[in-house]
Structure 1
Amino acid sequence: MLKAIFIDHMGTLVYEQSEYLESLIQKCVDHSIEKDPQKIAEMWYQKHDELLKQYNGENYKKEYDIALEAFDAIKEEIQLEGDSHEYCDLLTQHWMHTPAYDDTYDFFAQCPLPIYIITNNDTYYVEESMKNLELKPKGIISSETTHYYKPAKEMFEKALEITKLNANEAVYIGDSLNKDMEAAKSVGMRAFLISKEKTDDPQVTVLESLLDVFEYL
């Protein structure tokens, strides 16, 4: 019997892109030798995701500090001027103020089960996001809560422990095959991918809208 829905935050409930992120990337363009905003974004995300894998368990760092380290790492390569804290602080505005997808509000209104957000973002920024969007999940379980980052199996093991649920009593919705789906599958949880693309993975069900998950509950 299902008792809860676990769901990702960035890219699933709220947009992956925002005016705040665009402003941040533009500032990087304006203060570096790299004038391709897409390349700057790709460089930062690649370094960020590499670092996420390093800082789990006893080596845990908050995502803010990891984001800061990612900026420091690309500064020399693109000759980015200024304090990395300034860029990282702009990123937090993206984390807190990115708009929700249209179906997010209907999903919260119609969901018959408690909703728990499982996120790599630090707790404070997701709390502020939910407050700004006037959404009320049952709980927010972050990397800060578990000291692990998706796709680490331990993050979902700890989320199940915190909610006192078995893997077959919750489903997970996310937008990333590599992070979200792999993490959910690693503990035996049914996984739903929000995507316009298809996947051959029989353990993953693709949804076009959050509301489509209600057909499977």
Structure 2
Amino acid sequence: MIKAVLFDLDNTLLDRDESIIRFAESQYSRMNHVLIDINRHYYVKRFIDLDKQGYEPKEKVYKVLTQELSLPASARNLLYEDYMNKFHQNCVPFPHIIDTLSNLKKYGYQLGIITNGLTDFQLATIRALRIEEFFNIILISEKEKIKKPNSKIFQRALTRLHLLPEEAIFIGDHYENDMKAAKNAGLHSILKIRNQKAISEFPTISDFTELIFIMEKL
């Protein structure tokens, strides 16, 4: 019997692709005194390319970006600090998240988040989405000193919820870090898809309105 639903954060609850576009556009406008004579479209596109869907450290992104654009060394820190302080003003949730989380709580499920990343930054993202109140547990790799795909972070979540692996479902978007890792820890797994192809070994959803139906099948 399923008793808990656990979620990844980026590109699962947070529409990170849309959020990063909005952030890059807003950063260009805010920092135009630094980005003098830099084309807006080029800046946004290059930032998104270097970001590699969030898997590239932002210190490295801005180091490369300032070098390519021949900006002064001081610009790197200014742009990085702007990212750390302002990204959360551009966070976009996927549709139907609030209704889905509300319904899951109403049906008696325990809820959790397991995400890689910096603790304060990821907590700020969760709060920007206005979903923190729904979750019984939130595990962030920096604080836990374990990161996906290490199965220990899933086991730690289960321990805190006092559950067996087969009593929980994990929903994420990344094959190695989310699907395969959760499966290796003994959890049921559901793949949240957007642009990527479905993987036949895992049930998939493209919209959270499909979640309850898929869970009933499990």
How many pairs does the alignment contain? 200
CA-CA distance at 1:90 after TM superposition? 2.7
Given the alignment, which residue of 72, 80, 91 partners 1:88? 80
Q: Which residue of structure 2 lines up, in the alignment, with residue 100 of structure 1?
A: 93
Q: Which residue of structure 1 lines up, in the alignment, with residue 174 of structure 2?
A: 176
Larger Rg: 2
Structure 2 matches for 1:144-163, cutoff 5 A?
Answer: 144-163=142-161
The alpha-carbon distance between structure 1 residues 168 and 49, as it changes in their structure 2 partners (threshold 3 A), is same
Contact 1:119 1:142 in 2 (8 A): yes
Unpaired stretches in structure 2, ≥5 consecutive residues: none
The alpha-carbon distance between structure 1 residues 76 and 13, as it changes in their structure 2 partners (threshold 3 A), is same
Is 1:125 the equivalent of 2:121? yes
- Cα deviation digits, residues 166-191 of structure 1 (max 9, x gap): 22111111122243223222312221
CA-CA distance at 1:116 after TM superposition? 0.5
The alpha-carbon distance between structure 1 residues 181 and 87, as it changes in their structure 2 partners (threshold 3 A), is farther
Unpaired stretches in structure 1, ≥5 consecutive residues: 51-65
Contact 2:116 2:147 in 1 (8 A): yes
Q: Which residue of structure 2 lines up, in the alignment, with residue 30 of structure 1?
A: 35
**SS of aligned partner of 1:44:** helix
The alpha-carbon distance between structure 1 residues 170 and 37, as it changes in their structure 2 partners (threshold 3 A), is same
Contact 2:91 2:128 in 1 (8 A): no
The alpha-carbon distance between structure 1 residues 33 and 79, as it changes in their structure 2 partners (threshold 3 A), is farther
Q: Which residue of structure 2 lines up, in the alignment, with residue 20 of structure 1?
A: 23
Contact 1:20 1:90 in 2 (8 A): no
Structure 2 matches for 1:30-109, cutoff 5 A?
Answer: 30=35, 35=42, 37-45=44-52, 49=55, 66-72=57-63, 75-76=66-67, 79-81=70-72, 82-92=74-84, 93-95=86-88, 97-109=90-102
Q: What TM-score do the two structures reach when normalised by structure 2? A: 0.74
CA-CA distance at 1:139 after TM superposition? 2.0
Percent identity (aligned):
22
The alpha-carbon distance between structure 1 residues 71 and 36, as it changes in their structure 2 partners (threshold 3 A), is closer
Segment of structure 1 superposing worse, 21-30 or 174-183:
21-30
**CA distance in 2: counterparts of 1:5 and 1:191, whole angstroms:** 10
The alpha-carbon distance between structure 1 residues 151 and 24, as it changes in their structure 2 partners (threshold 3 A), is farther
**CA distance in 2: counterparts of 1:76 and 1:159, whole angstroms:** 41
CA-CA distance at 1:36 after TM superposition? 5.7
Q: What TM-score do the two structures reach when normalised by structure 1? A: 0.74
Contact 2:62 2:76 in 1 (8 A): yes
Contact 2:171 2:189 in 1 (8 A): yes
